[in-house]
C-alpha cells in the first residue's frame, strides 16, 4: 500500500514539471502527507491547475464519510470492478504529486521507515482516482485514493504492494483514458535500478510531524538497494 508520502518542492519547480500555474504566495511544501489531509493533485476535470483534495476516497453514494479512512488505496488490478472505485476510475482520475513515498520495512517486531524516490525524476506523479461527496448543508467534499500494484524487485524487499508511478510521458494519458484495458497498459512500474531508498527517522510515524529532516537519511545507515 501507500500510506504516507512527501511533496516538497518549490512552486516554480512544480509549475515547470507539470505545466501548471500555482499561486506561490500560498504554496506550502509537505514532507509528511497523510490520510485525511487536503493534498495537491491534478484532476482530469481541471488539468491546468492544482486542486487540494482530501486523501481517503468517499464514494459519491456513501452514507457515512468515515468510509474514506479505509479507502486511501485502490488495487489497480481490480478497481474497475469495485463499487467504491469503478465510477471514479471511469470518469474521475487524477495525478497525485510527490517527490517520494514512505514504506515501513518489518524486521522482526520492528517497523523501520524507509523513504523511496526515483533517481532521475525528483518529482513524479502517482495514479489516483477521486470523487465528490455531498455533505449536509450542500457542501461538496472532494477526496482521492492512490492506485497500487504488484511491487518491483526493490519494493518487494519491504512490501507486497507499491503505488502506481506514472512515467512523465503518460501522465496526461492517464487523465484522458477511460477504458480499463487501456489504463492497465499505462501501469508499468519503474525498473528497480531507477529507484532508490534509505532509512529515515521514526519521527515520520506521527502525521503531526512535518519538516525536512523526515526525508533525510537517519535512524541507521543508508539502506542498500542491491
User: HEC profile for 152-181?
Assistant: CHHHHCCCCCEECEECHHHHHHHHHCCCHH
Model confidence at 18, pLDDT cuts 50, 70, 90, reads: very high
With b for 16 or more beta-carbon neighbours within 10 A and e for fewer, the 48-61 pattern comes to eebbebbbbbbbee
pLDDT tens-digit series, residues 86-98: 999 999 999 999 9
Model confidence at 183, pLDDT cuts 50, 70, 90, reads: very high
Q: Give the span between the Cα atoms of 83 and 103, in whole angstroms.
A: 27
What's the mean pLDDT in 22-29? 85
Q: Is residue 136 part of a domain?
A: yes
User: Residue 165 pLDDT more than 60?
Assistant: yes
Tell me which of 94, 103, 142, 171 is the catalytic residue.
103
Give which of 126, 125, 100, 105 is closest to 115, Cα–Cα.
100
Determine which helix (DSSP H) or strand (DSSP E) holds 43, and give its type and residue range. strand 38-43
Q: Is residue 222 part of a domain?
A: no
Q: Is residue 220 part of a domain?
A: no
At 219 the pLDDT is 59
Q: Is residue 149 part of a domain?
A: yes
Q: Is residue 226 part of a domain?
A: no
What domain range is 39 assigned to? 5-215
Examine the residue annotation and report whether 2 is marked as an active-site residue of this protein: yes
**Phi (first) and psi of residue 33, to 5 degrees:** -70, 130
pTM above 0.85, yes or no: yes
Q: Is residue 223 part of a domain?
A: no
Q: What is the CATH number of the domain that holds 37?
A: 3.90.1680.10
User: How many structural domains compose the chain?
Assistant: 1
Give the percent of the chain with pLDDT over 70.
96
Q: Is residue 199 part of a domain?
A: yes
Q: Is residue 176 part of a domain?
A: yes
Tell me which of 2, 33, 94, 142 is the catalytic residue.
2
Amino acid at each position: 500500500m501507500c500510506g504516507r508520502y512527501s511533496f516538497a518542492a518549490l512552486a516554480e519547480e512544480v509549475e515547470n514539471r507539470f505545466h501548471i500555474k500555482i499561486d506561490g504566495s500560498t504554496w506550502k511544501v509537505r514532507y509528511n502527507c497523510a490520510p485525511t489531509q487536503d493534498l495537491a493533485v491534478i484532476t482530469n476535470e481541471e488539468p491546468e491547475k492544482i486542486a487540494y483534495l482530501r486523501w481517503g476516497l468517499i464514494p459519491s453514494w456513501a452514507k457515512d464519510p468515515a468510509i474514506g479512512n479505509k479507502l486511501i488505496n485502490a488495487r489497480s488490478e481490480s478497481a474497475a470492478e469495485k463499487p467504491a472505485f469503478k465510477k471514479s476510475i471511469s470518469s474521475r482520475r487524477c495525478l497525485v504529486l510527490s517527490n517520494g513515498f514512505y514504506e515501513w520495512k518489518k524486521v522482526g517486531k520492528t517497523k523501520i521507515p524507509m523513504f523511496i524516490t526515483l533517481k532521475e525524476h525528483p518529482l513524479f506523479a502517482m495514479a489516483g482516482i477521486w470523487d465528490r461527496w455531498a455533505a449536509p448543508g450542500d457542501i461538496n467534499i472532494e477526496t482521492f485514493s492512490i492506485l497500487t500494484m504488484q511491487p518491483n524487485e526493490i519494493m518487494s524487499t519491504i512490501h507486497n504492494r507499491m503505488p502506481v508511478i506514472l512515467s512523465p510521458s503518460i501522465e496526461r494519458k492517464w487523465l484522458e483514458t477511460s477504458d480499463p484495458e487501456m489504463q492497465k497498459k499505462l501501469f508499468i512500474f519503474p525498473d528497480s535500478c531507477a529507484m532508490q531508498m534509505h532509512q529515515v527517522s521514526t519521527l515520520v510515524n506521527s502525521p503531526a510531524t512535518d519538516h525536512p529532516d523526515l526525508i533525510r537519511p537517519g535512524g541507521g545507515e543508508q539502506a542498500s538497494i542491491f
